Homo-oligomer: A and B are copies of this chain.
């Protein structure tokens, strides 16, 4: 049994070239390192160094030992990382969501139901969110459609409908409803944190330009002070009220009127039973 710090010191020496430099790097004194290397040789029962009076260098065996030692150190670090990562996962629930609107509610709910656990959430436009469940990147997810594969369990949570906000003078402002493709080619104000809506808009309106805003209140400001069309949803209208100086027209595309599903792997259904029950009432 040879302690790993000796190998660490050996590797540092190999990188630095002299004991003094390595000692400095390791924040120990030069004599301490000198003795460590003597001890290492002694415990291995093998000479690792060529010693001239005022110069020490690795011999062939030493070079070999350094290669092995580098390897061993890498393995130890990776091992420690993986143990910590495993433990972290035990104490965190990762939620992946295709929409921002439900995230706060889910965080509160999960925190309440799973006391002591860390709740980690990620808003993502990833179209294959279910694959992330399979990989266990997320243990629970909010999807914009019911997952069809058998290995998932899911319940509906909430629905949301997309609207476009047009200035009254806009040529399409008197429509009762619009398809996204009717709006293609125009320039829109768009909030950046909108999850799956983003891909939908870009797919259905390939020629449109989007002025993406990072900040919600900057976006509001711009909408209020420009004639540019923007989007909203019934969820936002219910929360913030309607934009009075705008005409709000429903979007008719099927995919723009979604029901969100909360899903997990079937094998984890029991773990999240409490969550599902909460929405089934």
Residues of A that sit less than 8 Å from B by CB: 1-5, 8, 44-47, 60-61, 64-65, 68-69, 71-72, 75-76, 79-80, 82-84, 86-87, 90
Contact = CB atoms under 8 A, between A and B. Distances in A.
25 contacts: A1-B4, A1-B8, A1-B76, A2-B76, A3-B3, A3-B4, A4-B4, A4-B76, A44-B87, A46-B83, A46-B84, A61-B83, A61-B87, A64-B82, A64-B83, A64-B86, A65-B83, A68-B79, A68-B82, A68-B83, A69-B79, A71-B75, A72-B72, A72-B79, A75-B75
Contacts of A46: 83-84, 87
Contacts of A44: 80, 83-84, 87
Copies in the complex: 2
List the 7 shortest-distance A-B pairs measured between CB atoms, nearest first.
A46-B87, A68-B79, A61-B87, A4-B4, A65-B83, A3-B3, A64-B86
Nearest to A4: B4
Contact of A1 (B5, B83, B86, B90): B5
Contacts of A1: 4-5, 8, 76
A80 B2 contact: yes
A76 B83 contact: no
